[in-house]
Structure 1
Amino acid sequence: KAHELAERLGIDATQLRPSNGWLQSFKKRNGIRSHTLHGEGGAVEADEVRDARLELQELVAQFTPENVFNFDETALFYRLAPNRTLATTIRKGKKKEKQCLTLAFCCNATGSDTLDPIVIGTAKNPRCFRKGAAIKGKPILYKSSTNAWMTSVIFDEWLHLFNMRMAAANRKVLLLVDNASCHKILRNLTHVTVHFLPPNMTSAVQPLDAGIIRSFKARYRKYFVRWCLDALEAKITRKLNVLEAVQFSIDAWAGVTPTTITNCW
């Protein structure tokens, strides 16, 4: 590549002796270093993050920790196997599973109140749900959308039910959400104060992004791998269905400890 660039720039390539050592010296002379590529969060200045945290702390201080909640969504590739394994030789790779669900979580700052997750898929009536499926005696909070994404309608329905639940318990609560376009307040809320987090800062100020969802996914993967091993031993060839993925999700979410949640807050 160095010879190709030299030719384009009209430099005598015979006088050029590129090597790894030459490249390292060139980078050092010109202050060129390797940097990690970031998403939108990388464009936020440290001062802005600090100011946002201070503002958030002042707001949160007006409520007791039990009455401060965070709501956030995440994509779950529910059939995706781990990306590492133990083997004696390298084997040919296989196409990754891309079936995806969106899961929405909500919990308070003490971990004492973790709401059932919303599961969003593409199918309106998955076959595995047809017999009025329920998990551990509870109906499944399943919704559908074209891309299995959260929509303003789904969020509004959930927010209305959340407000009713807080009203029944006579609780005035604060709900922190990111500023995604689907997070719209379409009706009056009597017991819930919604605070939208600043753009591009959710990774720095949102508790669910600070390790709570990561803990959930680690637990989900454990359930999925165990299912795969059991299926292999039983010579079951079918793939994990949505109902089973929802079951694992509920169990994994229930396994996230209050200690983990409070540490992330």
Structure 2
Amino acid sequence: MLASKKHTRQALSLADKKRICEISQLLVKSTHQQVADEFNKTAERSVQRLMVTKTLREKDKWLAMDESQLGRKRMRGGKFEALEHALSLYLQEARAQGARLSDSLLTAHAERLRAEHNIKDSEFKISNGWVQNFKRRHSIRMHSAHHGGMHVNHGDPDDAKVGDLSFLKLASSIDTTDTPSSPSATPSHLSGIHQLIVDGGFKPSDVFHYDEHVLYYGTPASSLAKSMEQAPSRHRPRRRMLLGLLTNVVGDTPMVSCVQDVVTSHVFADMYAADFVDTHPHAHMTKAIFTKFILHINTVLAVQEPPRRILCFLDASPCHAISMEGHMSTICGMRTVELSHMLLAFLPPRVPPHLTPLGAGLTTYFHLQFKITLLKWLLSDTTSPSTSERRTMTVSQQQVQTMLWVAQMWKTIPPSIAKTSWRQSQWLPPSWVQAWEHDDVVGEVEPMAESLMAQAQSTYKELHALYHGASLKEDDEDHAPPPSPSSWAESPPDESEDAVVAPTVCQALDAAHQVLTFMEQHPVVFTHDDVAALLGVANRISGFDYQKDPPTQ
């Protein structure tokens, strides 16, 4: 008889316990089994409901864990926890008052606390090893200089870990007064953004911006039924999709959240492995949908090797109000929420959209690319010789196709567009901008972005002229070029005020089809050669190149 396989018990790491508690907070009114199921979707090992129950009994303890301790399996405190707690509070107060922290200051106060707690020298020796372990346990970083009310690390390189958020403990003691970095005063939100990026030790690839963007994807009236063609623009179907767009400074980690205006969800094959799809009857972002999207991103970051921490800026919309007790603070004048692998930083009210990275050109380029893709698809559909044979898309098919286009195009946004948009928004810290100015490769990014934007605008105008005519109709709001608030993304002026209005390809083909139908109804008058000649003309119209053969007056 074969012996049964022995299962060894595996303890949860501190990071796993903290993530279980975060999932429980984010999934309001969820059962412990639902929390376990959500955790098991991406975890390397599965947990049972009982393990979740035991973990949540000490939820406050695990949620209060320092980031430097999450790599451990167990929580081990010092032998004299009361003394260490008092020493940690003293160092935080000293730092808040602008004092220069050092090992000698730490040792001196530890000796005073040892005497106050009546601890013998033989029982508690304040050795160099204990000092280093104490700093690691309590995420104490020694600073030798301060600037603008926030300290800058010049000590041990090991202390300057990328994404180290231990400074968030000092949120209540940080001076949030805006200090302009130059004689010309900068907007108040920029100084806070710069401080949060630099003092957090984040790299360009770990700094993100998130915002919602409305996309109208309804098929133009010219490709719908004739009854719709005759309807006023206000009666045409204007289907829209709400996109939650997320990207970083270097443009190598774009993520998108698609919110449809239907009730039934569509299932996609990973949606390029890092996207999120949900539905709402009115295509509005809600607190529940946004919370699930943020939880999805946090999980994606947790399973990466090595695990990744990011800083994400977003506006303080009511639908973004995630409730995380014990993890909310104010730093650099911005409200923050700390997750296990994300720090959400909410912008102050009334920040102009064109002064944000997404609004400084990214969404303009994305909107142009979507319209170009849609127009190319519609123009390729005009090659059918018979109107009845043209491809038609149901509303559900339009939604699926649009979401696939959105995922593909947002994934392929050129990094030069992202970098230029971030630079135009002035969100980059001055030290980053100065370093980029001395980099020859980075110096070529902005001209490349301007060239790509101009090319996209030119392509859109040409395709629009082919399908709709050279001039945009006033009532065709859904297919007009998106606004370009940034100077580098502005459309070039027309060379001639008397631009020729070209007959559209669809109008010419429809006329040819009507003539063909008339000829087929009168076979006595028209021969097969006449029909073949007209079909040849229709084929040449469908392949008409407006660039090479512009219409003449």
State if a TM-score over 0.5 links the two structures. Answer: yes
The Cα of 1:209 is off from its aligned counterpart by 1.3
Q: What is the distance in 1 between the residues matched to 2:272 and 2:343?
A: 31
CA offsets, 1:131-154, max 9 Å, x none?
x55377769732111310111111
Superposed, which structure 2 residues align to 1:113-152 within 5 Å? 113-115=253-255, 117-125=256-264, 129=266, 132-134=267-269, 141-152=276-287
Displacement of 1:174 after TM fit? 0.7
Of the structure 1 ranges 48-57 and 106-115, higher mean CA displacement relative to structure 2 is found in 48-57
- For residue 25 of structure 1, what is the aligned residue in structure 2? none
| Residues 68 and 108, structure 1, Cα contact 8 Å, conserved in 2 | yes
Q: 1:252 maps to which residue?
A: 409
CA distance in 2 between partners of 1:93 and 1:48 (Å): 53
> What whole-Å deviation, never above 9, does each CA across 1:98-138 have from its counterpart, x for those lacking one?
110101111111112112x1111121226xx4xx5537776
Aligned pair in 2 of structure 1 residues 78, 114: CA closer, same or farther (>3 Å)? same
Partner of 2:320: 183
- Aligned residue number for residue 243 of structure 1: 400
Q: CA, structure 1 residues 139+54, in 2 after alignment: closer, same or farther (shift >3 Å)?
A: closer
**Separation in 2, partners of 1:220, 1:103:** 13
> Alignment partner of 1:241: what SS?
helix
Shift of 1:180: 0.9
Change (3 A) 1:186 1:48: farther
1:165 corresponds to 2:300: yes
In the alignment, what sits opposite 1:207?
357
Q: Which amino acid aligns with 1:148?
A: A
Aligned partners of 1:134 and 1:140 also within 8 Å: no
**Which residue in 1 is equivalent to 2:95?**
none
What residue in structure 1 maps to residue 194 of structure 2? 57
Percent identity, aligned pairs only, is: 21
Are the structure 2 counterparts of residues 198 and 256 from structure 1 closer, same or farther at C-alpha, using a change threshold of 3 Å?
Answer: same
Is contact 1:231–1:237 with CA below 8 Å preserved after alignment? no
Q: Give the CA deviation at 1:204.
A: 4.1
Between Structure 1 and Structure 2, how many residues are aligned?
206
- Asked whether the equivalents of residues 178 and 202 of structure 1 are also in contact (C-alpha less than 8 Å), the reply is no
Superposition TM-score, scaled by structure 1 size: 0.69
AA paired with 1:118? S
* Correspondence for 1:70: 209
Distance in 2, matches of 1:59 and 1:244, equals 39
Question: What is the CA–CA distance in structure 2 between the aligned matches of 1:160 and 1:144, rounded to whole Å?
Answer: 16
CA–CA distance in structure 2, aligned partners of residues 178 and 137 of structure 1: 26
- Taking the aligned partners of 1:114 and 1:137, their CA distance within structure 2 comes to 10
Q: How does 1:18-29 map to 2 (within 5 A)?
A: none
More strand by share: 1
Q: Distance in 2 between matches of 1:133 and 1:166?
A: 20
Q: Verify the 8 A CA contact 2:239 2:261 in the aligned structure 1.
A: no
Task: Assess, with a 3 A threshold, how the Cα gap between structure 1 residues 146 and 124 changes in structure 2: closer, same or farther.
Answer: closer
Q: Report the CA distance between 1:237 and its aligned residue.
A: 4.1
Q: Supply the distance in 2 between the matched residues of 1:48 and 1:134 (Cα, whole angstroms).
A: 49
Query: Which one-letter code corresponds to 2:349 in the other structure?
Result: P
Q: CA shift at 1:261, angstroms?
A: 0.3
For the residue of structure 2 that corresponds to 1:73, the secondary structure is strand
1:177 maps to a residue whose letter is L
Give yes or no for contact 2:262–2:282 (8 Å, CA) kept in 1. Answer: no
Residue 217 and residue 174 in structure 1: after superposition, are their counterparts in 2 closer, same or farther (change >3 A)? same
Which AA in structure 2 matches 1:262?
Answer: K
Q: CA RMSD in A?
A: 2.8
Larger radius of gyration: 2
- Kindly tell me: are residues 140 and 205 of structure 1, through their superposed partners in 2, closer, same or farther at Cα, counting changes over 3 Å? closer
Alpha-carbon contact 1:100-1:148 (below 8 Å) kept = yes
Alpha-carbon distance, 1:220 to partner: 0.5
Could you give the per-residue CA deviations for residues 40-94 of structure 1, whole angstroms, max 9, x where no partner exists?
Answer: xxxxxxx996121122122122311111111111110012659xxxxxxxxx995
Where relative contact order (Cα < 8 A, 6+ residues apart) is larger, the structure is 1
For 2:311 and 2:249, how far apart are their aligned partners in 1? 11
SS at match of 2:319: coil
- Partner of 2:156 in structure 1? none
Residue 98 of structure 1 is matched in structure 2 by: 238
Tell me how far apart the structure 2 counterparts of residues 65 and 202 of structure 1 sit (CA, whole Å).
Answer: 23
More helix by share: 2
Q: Post-superposition shift, 1:226? A: 1.0
